Amino acid sequence: MGSRSELLYFAWLNTKVRVGALILALFVILAIVGPLFARHDPNAYVGPPAHPPSSEYWLGTTTFGQDVYSQFVHGLRATFIVGLLGGGIGTLLGVCIGLLAGYRGGMVDEILNMFTNIVLILPTLAVLIIIAAYLTVRGILVESLFIGCTAWPWAARAIRAQTFSLRAREFVDLARMSGRSSWKIMFYEIAPNMLSYLFMTFILQFGGAVLIAATLDFIGLGPTQGISLGLMMNNAVLWAALPLGMWWWLIPPGAAITAIVGALYVMNVGLDEVFNPKLREL
Amino acid sequence: MIWYLGRKLFIYLLTFFFAVTIDWLIPRLMPGNPVDIMVSRMALRADAAEVVRSYYIQAFQLDLPLWRQYLNFWIALLRGDLGVSIWLFPQPVISVIARAVPYDLLLLLPAILLSWVLGNQVGAMAARVRWLDNTVLPLAYILTATPYMWLALLLAWSLGQVAGLFPISGAYSYNIRPHLSWVFIRDLLWHWTLPFLSLFLVMFGGWAIGMRNMIIYELEADYSRYLSALGAPQRLIRRYAFRNAVLPQITGLALQLGAIVAGAVATEIAFAYPGTGYLILQAVLNQDYFLLQGCFLFIITGVLAANLIIDIVYILVDPRTRLGMVGE
């Protein structure tokens, strides 16, 4: 317990972690609390069309008179759901496949590694486009599921390499001699020893899922119901926000994504410094 | 070296096989009959719907046994037959894509190569110049976190809409026919600038960060310390560090191709630039499934070809692969 609070202490000392976490917390709060203050349904046609920000419509309205603020905060929620779920699934798959390949080695490793390499080369977005296009009803959950299922390869590769180096350690040999099952060794002996690494993998998977979801939504293959930040940008482009100069519709969704993903990256770099004392700047 | 390249080639062929199978499988795997879904979405009159329906049944060959459908899919593919576009009926999908390819290359090749070269140079400089490290690095982090389409929209709005310096859509002005003349080339470049810039900037950030970190890592390595202990000039040590740091950046380029493709698709949509990304948007808007599947195969083929080229470059650059000292 002592070493854990020490890690937290060092993590908080690191400026990068602090800045990243603060920005992230700001958006999480906005995503949770923001919709409570939204006076209109995100997709309802409520106001005058193409109205700039005012006291009634905080971020203005779309070409159809939808409330941009309401869309924005609801879209933020969708973004965090996709990040958590998609990033979570991607990390989980990467951990399972990487651990299995790294611990078992031999034939299992050969086959899993080949599979990993194949999925790694396939451009994720192209696969997602094909899948999404044939789905008649698309929700955020299904989108996250497919994103997670295509995002795992690099995580699996990195975790496989880590497992390789851990598997030859004495404590793993000891566990094996004491007769623990392979699954128990993988998840109770090896995985906890790279917990910090797994956490950083999750952060990067989170950011990746947010970006790829935004791109997919921007193409017009996002959720068929509801709203997301990518969908807002898609609508803004399709309905001439650019030539009409409706910056209040164009700028906020992308700015939020940039801030969230950027905060995650910066936090990741900071955590790297915390977990690898060699890089620590004090 | 032959073995190294052969192994890579085998993986690429396997990937291509896998991708084509996905392309064939997904329409058949989805809930409901793909033909019914497509026809119902088109909202046609009853008689027109029947014509479209029979065309699709024939095109998908849903009346044949599964193995026969799969075999025919491959045969058609190898003949270059990707079906007929609905959006631009009755043009074959392959010729629609062929028209878009030059724009993709025009945009992607300079953006990838220039951002890679400049990003590496600036990243290497940032690793040894403090003020550069403090200015370029935060900027690079912001750039690399930016979704491609948002930077595209931002540039289009600021430089295109507000400042009025560049056009915000298309590959050339509507009043000009594509032909070989200075007027046309200038117009083409003028339209090309903003999409190029937004792709370039996002990629540039990533390469600069990667190179900066690699250089710092290399300068900490034993060989660098040994060289400086021997009293070798700093310039020489940095040159060695750079050469070693470039190798992971080449591998990184191969790994980034998927993200770059996604970025190009988004950028082309934002600027209505008539490459494959724009085709994908039109295919989605017009329920043009054959065009979509054609674009998918085209992207896969392009990425695999790029991977192969990068492998060959890697062999040329890293002597260890030629001597069979690196397994993977």
Query: Which residues of chain A have a CB within 8 Å of the CB of B261?
Result: 123, 125-126
Q: Residue A84 pLDDT > 90, yes or no? A: yes
Q: Are B214 and B151 in contact (CB under 8 A)?
A: no
B262 touching chain A per CB within 8 A: yes
- How close is the nearest chain A Cα to the Cα of B143, in Å? 8
Reported as a single tens digit per residue, the pLDDT across A19-36 is: 889 999 999 998 988 888
Decide if B145 and A265 are in contact by the 8 Å CB cutoff. Answer: yes
Reported as a single tens digit per residue, the pLDDT across A204-226 is: 999 999 999 999 898 888 888 87
Query: Which residues of chain A have a CB within 8 Å of the CB of B257?
Result: 123
Architecture of the CATH domain B94-321: Orthogonal Bundle (1.10)
Cβ-in-10-Å burial (0-12, 13-18, 19+) of B11 comes to middle
Query: Average model confidence (pLDDT) for chain A?
Result: 84
**Nearest-CB residue to A220 (from B161, B261, B285):** B285
Q: Nearest residue of B to residue A217 by CA position?
A: B266
Q: Three-class SS string for chain A?
A: CHHHHHHHHHHHHCHHHHHHHHHHHHHHHHHHHHHHHCCCCCCCCCCCCCCCCCCCCCCCECCCCCEHHHHHHHHHHHHHHHHHHHHHHHHHHHHHHHHHHHHHCHHHHHHHHHHHHHHHHCCHHHHHHHHHHHCCCCCHHHHHHHHHHHHCHHHHHHHHHHHHHHHCCHHHHHHHHCCCCHHHHHHHHHHHHHHHHHHHHHHHHHHHHHHHHHHHHHHCCCCCCCCCHHHHHHHHHHCCCCCCCCHHHHHHHHHHHHHHHHHHHHHHHHHHHHHCHHHCCC
* CA atoms of A73 and A59, how far apart (whole Å): 11
* CA atoms of A164 and A103, how far apart (whole Å): 7
Q: List Cα–Cα distances, B251 to A273, B245, B307, B328, in angstroms.
A: 24, 11, 9, 11
- How close is the nearest chain B Cα to the Cα of A134, in Å? 6
- One DSSP character per residue, B60-106 reads HTTTS-HHHHHHHHHHHHHTT---B-STTTTSBHHHHHHHHHHHHHH
- How close is the nearest chain B Cα to the Cα of A258, in Å? 5
- Domain coordinates in residue numbering, chain B: 94-321
- How close is the nearest chain B Cα to the Cα of A72, in Å? 15
Query: Which residues of chain A have a CB within 8 Å of the CB of B139?
Result: none
Helices (H), B177-221: 182-219
Give which of A212, A219, A221 to mutate to test B binding, by max B Cβ within 10 Å. A219
Decide if A261 and B307 are in contact by the 8 Å CB cutoff. Answer: no
Decide if A131 and B26 are in contact by the 8 Å CB cutoff. Answer: yes
Alpha-carbon torsion (B318, B322, B324, B328), positive or negative: positive
Decide if B142 and A114 are in contact by the 8 Å CB cutoff. Answer: no
Give which of B14, B134, B149, B289 to mutate to test A binding, by max A Cβ within 10 Å. B149
Q: Residue A150 pLDDT > 80, yes or no? A: yes
* CA atoms of B197 and B195, how far apart (whole Å): 5
Name residues whose C-beta falls within 8 Å of residue A57's C-beta, 6 or more positions apart in sequence: A47, A51, A67, A68, A69
Q: Nearest residue of B to residue A133 by CA position?
A: B284
Query: Which residues of chain A have a CB within 8 Å of the CB of B299?
Result: 123, 126
Reported as a single tens digit per residue, the pLDDT across B161-194 is: 788 788 888 777 777 777 778 888 888 888 888 8
Decide if A125 and B258 are in contact by the 8 Å CB cutoff. Answer: yes
Reported as a single tens digit per residue, the pLDDT across A234-280 is: 888 888 777 777 888 888 898 999 999 989 988 888 888 777 766 55
Q: What is the mean pLDDT of residues B39-48?
A: 67
Q: Residue A154 pLDDT > 80, yes or no? A: yes
Q: Nearest residue of B to residue A136 by CA position?
A: B37
**Nearest-CB residue to A134 (from B26, B148, B151):** B26
Query: Which residues of chain B have a CB within 8 Å of the CB of A251?
Result: 153-154, 157
Q: Residue A282 pLDDT > 70, yes or no? A: no
Q: What confidence score (pLDDT) does residue B29 get?
A: 74
Residue type, A214: A
Give the number of beta-carbon pairs within 8 Å between A and B.
152
Q: Nearest residue of B to residue A249 by CA position?
A: B153
Q: What confidence score (pLDDT) does residue A1 get?
A: 43
Q: Residue A180 pLDDT > 80, yes or no? A: yes
Q: What confidence score (pLDDT) does residue B117 get?
A: 94
Give which of B60, B161, B298 to mutate to test A binding, by max A Cβ within 10 Å. B161
